Amino acid sequence: MVERTLLIIKPDGVRRGLIGEILRRIEAKGLRITKLKMLKLSRECAEQLYDIHRGKPFFEGLISFMTSGPIVAAVIEGDDAVNVVRLLVGPTDGRKAPPGTIRGDYALSIRENVVHAADSPERAEYEISVVFDIKCSVEE
């Protein structure tokens, strides 16, 4: 079934010059990028994006990291896009992610893991509404 999902290239991925390589992998798979935006997230919007992690021990560090520099947000469309993008991204912990996945090839950290991908169609719609809201972008 054709779905859409959200992929975010996190501040570490942008700083390390991985935007092109990550988007290349998405397109090479046959998925379509239908919206693309570079922005620096406000603290409030980073907290909304990660609302399900509020209260966890890593929450503050995650929010500081996600607001530490620009991100790239992409809406991705294609057959079974939510699961397919998660397979391309790999597991959260870069140290455990298999080679061939984005995190497996480019991350060595559980927090600074280069990308985020929505984990369900419902979360994708919620997260797209947060990051593509013009009010979520702050000046550098």
Binding site for ligand CMP (CB under 6 A): 53, 58, 61-62, 92, 110-111, 113, 116
Q: 35, 64, 69: which is closest to 50 by C-alpha?
A: 64
CB of 55 to ligand CMP, least distance (A): 13
| Residue 116 is a catalytic residue | yes
Q: 102, 118, 113, 95: which is closest to 21 by C-alpha?
A: 102
CB of 62 to ligand CMP, least distance (A): 4
Q: Which is nearer to ligand CMP, 2 or 97 (CB)?
A: 97
Q: 90, 102, 82, 92: which is closest to 28 by C-alpha?
A: 102
Q: Write the CB contacts of 65 (distance below 8 Å, at least 6 apart in sequence).
A: 10, 11, 12, 111, 112
User: How many residues in total does the chain contain?
Assistant: 140
Q: Which is nearer to ligand CMP, 24 or 95 (CB)?
A: 95
Give the active site residue among 12, 81, 116, 118: 116
CB of 28 to ligand CMP, least distance (A): 22
Where in the sequence numbering do the catalytic residues fall?
116
